[in-house]
Amino acid sequence: MSTPSNTFASITNPTSGIADAPTAAWERACTWLQQHLVLLIVLAVLAAACLAVLAKLRCAARRRWYAGARVVTVLPPAGLDPAAAVAGARRLWWDLPSLAPPRWKRLVAGVPHLAVEYHLAAGEDLAVRLWLPGPVPTARIDAALRAAWPGTLVLDHTRTTPQQNDESAAAGKAGLVVTGGTVRPERPEHLPLRVPDARDESLDPLRALEAVSGQLAEGESAVVQILARPAVGRRLRRYRRTVDRMHSGRPGRRSALASFVSVLVREVMEIVTGSTSTATTHGTSEQAPRRLDPQQTEELREIRAKKQQPQWEVALRYYAATTHHGPQAAERVRGIADALFGAFALLAGRNALARHRLPKPRVVIAARRLRRGALLSAGELAALAHLPARTEALASGQARSVPAPPHTTRRL
């Protein structure tokens, strides 16, 4: 209970009570900590133990992903035009988000990811390979691929012969000149990339990759890797809240600490200045209706359209390598890497892809690890990852126009 002198002092000098309040709160907090110190230590030890067990379970689950992983080669059917290739990819990436495990399983093991790889080599066609981790049901992937592109062949990745192994070992001893990088959106993730018209072959990124493949010399190779997993959980909810806020015109949501500091500063200013204008007008003023220019309206429409599609976490990496050495070989490899990145620069629109440095690109791409990727819609991912067109002029001897007999295909 406060004494009359303290009450008189607080009336005559209101700021003194405000200054004493933090000191009293700190003293009460210290007293509470001293009384419950043992309980807090026990809770901290239990929390650390739970986090350690969860980390071990996740590491064990991810080791099983890579231990049971498979690499398959996907051969597109003959007569596959660019529009059908992109339409099939859109169906595939709309269909596969159901692979995400339930919430309790995501907490323990995480969400497995897929890898689509385009391998380029001198004198060979563009090869499309699919890396499947252990927990992904292979029959489900097989059905999705055949539904997206009827007539597609899904085969085991061809093993290298002993002679090829000796050549690759010799190349590894001699060393390779390698240049690569990773690609990420340069603007916030809610802004969409430009998805070109599938009927326009000139805007197909894989057409540019096939052009690069035709220019490779002996000893040169390149790989473009796209890692993707369904976006679920907290990140997806935060993305949707951001889009809803932009669409409704509400201000950004502040943290609880920022809101508390703002209210505290406002109350102190009211006590010091004696003004009540802030308190009386706060939350009562009517906002004027927003007036958006046509360009902003179109941007909001595209952002909303992206939100309505399934979302994927995507990482795009690439590298170019050669067995030759010297300044000319390094320049040649840099030129090939620039051409690989330029194939995906066609998607620049509201958002654009920017390349970043990737240390040891060959090792990173071979590891196929995905920690955090950019948030892309199924339509954007379909523009990045789809089968190359195989018209009559481009069809190879391995392409099939109808589903192959069961004895010639590998059932995944």
| Angstrom distance (rounded) from CA 2 to CA 372 | 56
The whole-number pLDDT of residue 143 equals 86
In this model, does residue 395 exceed pLDDT 50? no
138-148 and 82-95 helices, crossing angle to 10°: 150
Q: Does a structural domain hold residue 284? A: no
Listed range (135-149, 193-207, 299-313) with the worst mean pLDDT: 193-207
Q: What is the mean pLDDT of residues 118-123?
A: 89
pLDDT at 118 over 90: yes
Closest to 312 (Cα-Cα) out of 99, 93, 87: 93
Amino acid 173: pLDDT: 41
* Beta-sheet strands, E only, within 28-146: 70-75, 114-121, 127-132
Q: Backbone dihedral region of 357: left (phi > 0), alpha (psi from -120 to 50 degrees) or beta? A: beta
Per the domain annotation, does 85 fall within a domain?
yes
Please tell me the predicted confidence (pLDDT) of residue 301. Answer: 87
Angle (deg, nearest 10), helices 14-35 and 4-12: 130
| Mean per-residue pLDDT over the chain, rounded | 78
The answer to whether residue 43 is domain-embedded is no
Q: What is the average pLDDT across 168-174?
A: 42
Of the pLDDT bands very low, low, confident and very high (cuts 50, 70, 90), residue 399 is: very low
Please indicate whether residue 51 or residue 5 has the higher confidence score (pLDDT). 51
What is the per-residue pLDDT for 107? Answer: 78
Per-residue pLDDT at 270: 73
What DSSP assignment string belongs to 154-193?
Answer: EEEPPPPPHHHHHHHHHHHHH--EEEEEEEEESS-TTSPP
Q: What percent of the chain has pLDDT over 90?
A: 15
pLDDT at 317 (0 to 100): 94
Amino acid 280: pLDDT: 44
Both tokens assigned to 31:
């007293």
Q: Which domain holds residue 79?
A: 71-236+300-408
Q: What is the mean pLDDT of residues 14-32?
A: 73
Higher-confidence position of 251 and 108: 108
pLDDT value for 4: 52
Residue 1 lies in a domain: no
**Confidence band of 46 (pLDDT split at 50, 70, 90):** very high
User: Of the given ranges (32-36, 104-108, 139-143, 243-247), which has the lowest mean pLDDT?
Assistant: 104-108
Give the model confidence (pLDDT) of 173-190 as tens digits. Answer: 457 889 899 999 989 888
Q: What average pLDDT score do residues 283-294 get?
A: 53
Encode pLDDT of 195-243 as tens digits.
887 677 677 888 888 888 888 888 889 999 999 999 888 888 888 888 8
Q: What is the CATH number of the domain that holds 93?
A: 3.40.462
Pairing of strands 374-377, 153-156: unpaired
pLDDT value, residue 320: 92
Measured CA to CA, the distance from residue 248 to residue 290 in angstroms comes to 10
Average pLDDT over residues 29-54: 87
Most confident of 6-20, 64-78, 146-160, 273-287: 64-78
Q: Does a structural domain hold residue 23?
A: no
269 or 178, higher pLDDT: 178
Is residue 284's pLDDT more than 70? Answer: no
Residue scoring higher pLDDT (404 or 384): 384
pLDDT score for 318: 94
Predicted local distance difference test score (pLDDT) of residue 392: 53
Please give the pLDDT value at position 152. 86
Rounded CA gap, 198 and 76, in Å?
A: 17
Determine the residue type at 270. E
Output the pLDDT for position 311. 92
Provide the domain count of the chain. Answer: 1
Residue 290 included in any domain: no
pTM for this prediction? 0.74
Q: Which two tokens stand for residue 263?
A: 């209210």
51 in a structural domain? no
pLDDT of the residue at 212: 87
pLDDT in tens, 318-353: 999 998 888 888 898 899 999 999 888 888 888 889
**pLDDT for residue 398:** 47
Q: Is residue 55 part of a domain?
A: no
Q: Choose the weakest-confidence range: 20-29, 78-87, 168-177, 396-405.
A: 396-405
Q: How do residues 57-101 score in pLDDT, each as one tens digit?
A: 878 877 887 887 888 889 888 888 888 888 899 999 998 888 887
